[in-house]
Structure formats: C-alpha cells, structure tokens
Amino acid sequence: MAATRTPRFTRESEAAPAEAPARSASADHGVGPGPAPSIGLLIGRLLVGFVMAAHGYQKLFDFGPSSFATSTLEPAGVPFATTMGYVVTFTELIGGLLLMAGLLTRLAAMALTVDLVMAIILVKSKVPLIVAQDKPGAGMELDLALIAGFVVAMFAGPGRFSLDRALGIDGRWARPFGTPRTA
C-alpha cells in the first residue's frame, strides 16, 4: 500500500517531512537577499522625499501658505483654501522629510499620496498629462511619478536603511539589525 502524504498529513509510520533550511540571518527578509533591495528603497525614498520637501519648502518660504492658497487653491474652488494651503504646505514639507529619513515611512507616503491625488483631482485634471512647452503650468506626469514612488514605499516598506528599522517602528522591520526571524 502506498503512503499518503500531504503537506499537513503524514502517516504515523512515516517520518515527518524535513524542515526547510533556515534563511541567512543577514538576508533582508521579505525583500530579498542582501542589502541591494534596501539600497534601492533608500534611493527611492531620498529622491521622492526630496522633491516633496522642496515643494513644501517653496510653498512655505517663497510663496507663503496663504499666498499659495489665494493664487492656486481658491481659483480651483478648494473649500477652506487658506487652511488647506497650510495643510498642503506642511504635508509636503514634513512628509518629504519623514520619507527621506525613513521615519513613519508608510504614514508619510500615505499622506503624500492623498496630497497629490487631491492635487490631480482639484487642479491638474483640467490639463493634459504633459503640457506643451509654449503653455504655462505643468501636467500631471510628475505627480503620477511621485505617487508611484509613494506606493512603493507603502507596500515595500522603508527597507533596512531607515529610522523605522532602527527604532523598531515599522512592524515588518522591527527586528534589531542582523537578528534572525523566529518562527
């Protein structure tokens, strides 16, 4: 009689299936072996975070949040334009800095995604994807590219080179450096 074997069941007279070999303790579990994926996440976080922090800085120190609200948000019909000018300014500045540091990465990426989705809906939906050079304004291509970077940060996490990892904030990365995962 042939033995019946399934992943969950083995006849008592047979030996249990061998355990899978343990993964290397230095591997970045869930992302891939070695530091390369985390270096990619770091570079991506730094790039999109810098762009957003620069936009927030510009709104805060060059235009002023209330001036940004008057010139951009009020004509677009955004309710509570002055309040939203401050919300957008500080979301972009603080969110970009948090993303660059890898601190509260998923929360910052979510807030910045909402910020840019609202910008596309309220302001950029009236313009084409890429605006011709002879016309003023910008299309939504930069916003969409930045959203793609935020989505990667939300789903892949901050990576091993982040404050989230060092402080144990993000649950997936909450192991001290170099310690293996327990079953």
Whether 80 shows a pLDDT value over 80: the answer reads: yes
Phi (first) and psi of residue 16, to 5 degrees = -65, 150
Reported as a pLDDT band with limits 50, 70 and 90, residue 14 is low
Q: Where are the domains of the chain?
A: 36-171
Instruction: Answer with the residue of higher pLDDT: 103 or 173.
Output: 103
Answer whether 123's CB lies under 8 Å from 88's CB: no
Query: What is the arithmetic mean of pLDDT over 66-88?
Result: 93
Instruction: Answer with the residue of higher pLDDT: 76 or 34.
Output: 76
DSSP state letters, 114-183: HHHHHHHHHTGGGS-SS--TTSSS--SHHHHHHHHHHHHHHHH-S-SSSHHHHHT-SGGG-SPTTPPPP-
